[in-house]
Amino acid sequence: MTDLTQIPNIGPATAKSLISAGIPDAASLRKLGAHDAYRALLACGERPHFIGYYVLHMALQGRPWNDCRGEEKAALRQSFDTLVAETRGKDISGIEAALREIGLIPSQPSSRN
């Protein structure tokens, strides 16, 4: 596929998603960083998933995907929640827009406590 899959924790499916989000290779991913790369994934319609977020952080640090714990994991969760909140409601299209239009999902995201 690309050298993206040479980064530990990044398999073919994640590489394909990153490429679709405009991140074609490992150098681009490293330059962008995990947080902004995940922002690009969300902008391309990727569903938010916290594990995917912190796995990307661990990958760019060369750490096992399940090495994220304690305070570090809590801080990443806060960053993830903030990122998702920032990206929700912007340029809603496709199936999500249709579901909102017919009332199956709320037109405004609910706040998380």
**What does pTM read for this prediction?**
0.75
pLDDT of 5 > 80? The answer is yes
Domains by residue range for the chain, with CATH: 3-101 (1.10.150.20)
Distance CA 37, CA 43 (A): 10
Would you say 58 and 68 are in contact if contact means Cβ atoms under 8 Å apart? yes
Token pair 């960053």 in the structure block, residue: 79
| Residue 112's pLDDT band (cuts 50, 70, 90) | very low
Lookup result for tokens 């809603």: 92
Work out whether the CA dihedral 105, 110, 112, 113 comes out positive or negative.
negative
pLDDT tens, residue by residue, 41-82: 999 889 999 999 999 999 999 999 999 999 999 999 999 999
pLDDT at 91 over 60: no
